[in-house]
Amino acid sequence: MLDLIGPATARTCDGLTRRDFLQVGTLSALGFGLPDYARARQEGHVRRQHDQRACILIFNLGAPSQLDTLDMKPQAPAEIRGPFQPIATRAPEIELSEILPRHAEVAEKFSLVRSCHHSAAAVHEAGWQLLQAGRMGTADLHAPHAGAVVSYLRGRQRPLPAHVMVPEPVRLEGGGLTNGQTAGFLGKAYEPFTLNADSSQADFPPLALPPNKQIGQVRVNGRRRLREIVDAKVRNFETRHDARLLDDHFQTAYQAITSRQAREAFALSHEPDKVRARYGMTRFGQSCLLARRLIEAGVRFVTINTFLSVFDQLTWDIHGARPFTSIEDMQNHVAPMYDQAYGALIEDLADRGMLDNTMVCNLAEFGRTPKVNANGGRDHWPECFTVYFAGGGVQGGRVVGRSDPMGAAPAERPVEPAEIVATIFHSLGVDLETQLPGPSGLPVPLIDAGRREIHELF
């Protein structure tokens, strides 16, 4: 990931930190070129008719309460149904919470899957991996994010990266697990491109090296080539395998941070004020607008992290007491911000004729407990939750699956994370029988055996 000023850890025997090297070396993380994509398509891994498809993955860190947003149970006891009322939408089959009025206005354009579940531990990182990679990784074998797989199989539109993550990756919360947002065993050449920027500001920082900033322990200015930094720091660097990888990908990365086309794609300040206001002048709102700009410019996959941590900030993690969020905070702050931006994104994509070729999927690591806890909040609940999809071939206004009367377990058509990720790949035309290159050259199935897309959506 492109992170030019973060802290350094884990030094090599030459004194250069591993983070120093990765921050420089993974400028190659902008995907492979058109020859690689042509090979993948020739080998049948990508369907030609879906060449122009793209994906925006909105990851709702913290996990929204299905009972208070997308799968309400108004007939359940008060301690189950919560404080909100359902409202009608433009899709006859769909009722939503009153705290999502903009969703109600575009409900005919998306479809819900209300019977999702997984059996992993009820901790954030486990769900992050499952919902973004389709499987759990191990300490030695990290499963790649869906965007990294798309980077590997579909390539990029020069000079733009294949997969962009905004505003930055989610922060690990402990437990020794990964965040599910890396390229894993595919290698650092397919890591997402990220700015580590606050998109609620007037604009994202320009795509160039910032002057007078630290890269590890090395101070550089904005015009010095990254290769020179490494050469000056590490003796005989060129003999290393990682250095050869840097050489192979450096020109691609350098083009992305210096080309006018790439800089224009990231320039939110070029949008009219009324458009920016339509999305909301929040980090999430401007991230959604940036995603539309990037897809329009030719980026194939954009991941938007609604939040970056569940601690000491308002998120979907509504345990009810600090350092977490209350149901009232969700109602008054989290939901309005999220609802405004999502409604604007879907309408904007549709108005521009982009929605048919752009899947927008809204995922989360799990749901929330059916019963409200003693703090007036809800806790982690992987046994049942809701995700939803729009565009990219998805038929809107549908409900797939059903939860039981308390929203506690799937009652009809249970759906697992591998099927959710397979649905993204299916929309993008990726053959689900594809084998990925795993460690030591051993093939790894794209999707676990027997898992397919959620076909009722198409």
CA dist., res. 396 & res. 108, Å (int): 5
| 250 and 299 belong to one structural domain | no
The lowest-confidence range among 210-214, 388-392, 398-402 is 210-214
Report the predicted TM-score, pTM, of the whole model to 2 decimal places. 0.82
Examine the domain organization and report whether 98 and 217 are in the same domain: no
The predicted-structure confidence for 296-349, as pLDDT tens digits, reads as follows: 999 999 999 999 998 888 999 999 998 999 999 999 999 999 999 999 999 999
Q: Which residues contact 341 (CB under 8 A, 6 or more apart)?
A: 279, 280, 282, 284, 285, 287, 288, 289
Query: Distance of CA 91 to CAs 19, 22, 396, Å?
Result: 48, 47, 8
Indicate whether 251 and 389 sit together in one domain: no
Residue 20 has pLDDT above 90, yes or no: no
Bigger pLDDT: 147 vs 239: 147
Please answer whether residues 335 and 104 qualify as being in contact, where contact means their C-beta atoms are separated by less than 8 angstroms: no
Of residues 198 and 348, the one with the higher pLDDT is 348
Helices (H) and strands (E) in the chain, counts: 14, 18
One domain, residues 248 and 306: no
Q: Do 50 and 79 fall into the same domain?
A: yes
In this prediction, residue 38 has a pLDDT band, given cuts at 50, 70 and 90, of very low
Residue 143 sits in which domain range? Answer: 32-206+266-457
Q: Encode pLDDT of 244-263 as tens digits.
A: 444 444 555 566 667 888 88
Same domain, yes or no, for 293 and 360? yes
CATH number at residue 316: 3.40.720.10
| Shared-domain flag, residues 436 and 352 | yes
> Which residue among 262, 280, 305 closes a domain?
262
58 and 164 in a single domain? The answer is yes
Mean pLDDT of the chain: 82
Looking at the structure of the chain, the number of domains it has is 2
